[in-house]
Amino acid sequence: MVAEMGAWKPVLTALALPPVPWMLLLAWSAWRWARGHIGGAVGVALALVLWWLSACEGTAIWLQDHVLKVPAPLSVSQREALRQQVAADQRAAPQRPSVAVIVLGGGLEPMAEEYGMPSLGAMSLVRLRYGTWLARDLGAPLGVSGGVGWAQKGLPGTAAEADIGARIAQQEWGMRLRWVESGSADTRGNAKASVDLLATEGVQVVVLVSSAYHLPRAQRVFEQAAQRWAANHPGTAPLRIVPAGTAYWHHDTRGVLQWLPSAQGMGLVHTACRELLGLWVGA
């Protein structure tokens, strides 16, 4: 039953996100306008304005900064404090680290033709690159969480993101992963499976690596999973979740260009709205 509901998740999400609502608003308003309702003209104008704004980079950056309110990047002082904790672990109990760097999957290519095998999508590679760098900087063990997403379940030959990430990290960057969580299909699944795995091994701090836009939702569900695990294991403290963002959106063009529709702007706004939808519905 859960799998059947999950299979509908990508479809329902796509229907709820721009530009579909503006298309429906435009069609309904045009129908009302054609029948002499002045409110129809207002609705047409509103739909066109919203459609325009939903394709602008400036809108995406405003949503990131003022609505999603993404956490700031890890500071030098935060990294130093984590580095000291890792060093203390290595002196006291090197086989039982209290700090873990966990990278969340962000999409895959079921078949990368140039390699002749599955690969990670662009955003997953950005996350994995930063996670690898951060794990080396801190001296902490690294893990990846990500299975096959709901939109790709059932496709022949589709591998789990975490398995692909483990291969790339070891073969291309010389980093062997300590944890590979490959059974989850979405962020909530990432959180539950990762927390269960890490808490059992004595981890106390999870440095959670994901795209900046994704971190508000990811941090929330990881903290919820940590609270549930602690409640089910009396006498244990919840894991502390430290957000470590990458791929922040910035103003890369002149002011006027940020408010002109573009393919990139449309994609970024769509992504921001998907995260907001996930936060609102508790996904």
Say if CB 144 and CB 179 are below 8 A apart.
yes
Whether residue 199 sits in one domain with residue 117: yes
Average pLDDT estimate for 25-36: 96
Whether residue 178 sits in one domain with residue 64: no
**What pLDDT is recorded for position 90?**
87
Residue pLDDT, tens place only, 97-123: 999 999 999 988 888 899 999 899 999
Q: What is the mean pLDDT of the chain?
A: 92
Residue pLDDT, tens place only, 213-255: 999 999 999 999 999 999 999 999 999 999 999 999 998 767 8
Number of domains in the chain: 2
CA dihedral 25, 26, 28, 30 (to 10 degrees): 150
Residue pLDDT, tens place only, 155-170: 656 789 999 999 999 9
Which range among 11-20, 52-61, 200-209, 264-273 shows the weakest confidence by mean pLDDT?
A: 11-20
Band the pLDDT of 2: cuts 50, 70, 90.
very low
Q: What is the pTM of this model?
A: 0.91
Whether residue 150 sits in one domain with residue 105: yes
* Residue 210 included in any domain: yes
Distance CA 161, CA 121 (A): 9
In the chain, what percentage of residues exceed pLDDT 70?
A: 94
Alpha-carbon 138 to chain mean position: 22
Distance CA 101, CA 123 (A): 17
Residue pLDDT, tens place only, 38-53: 999 999 999 999 999 9
Whether residue 86 sits in one domain with residue 152: yes
Average pLDDT estimate for 49-61: 97
Domain span including residue 114? 76-246
Whether residue 271 sits in one domain with residue 241: no
CA atoms within 13 Å, Cβ hemisphere of 213 = 23
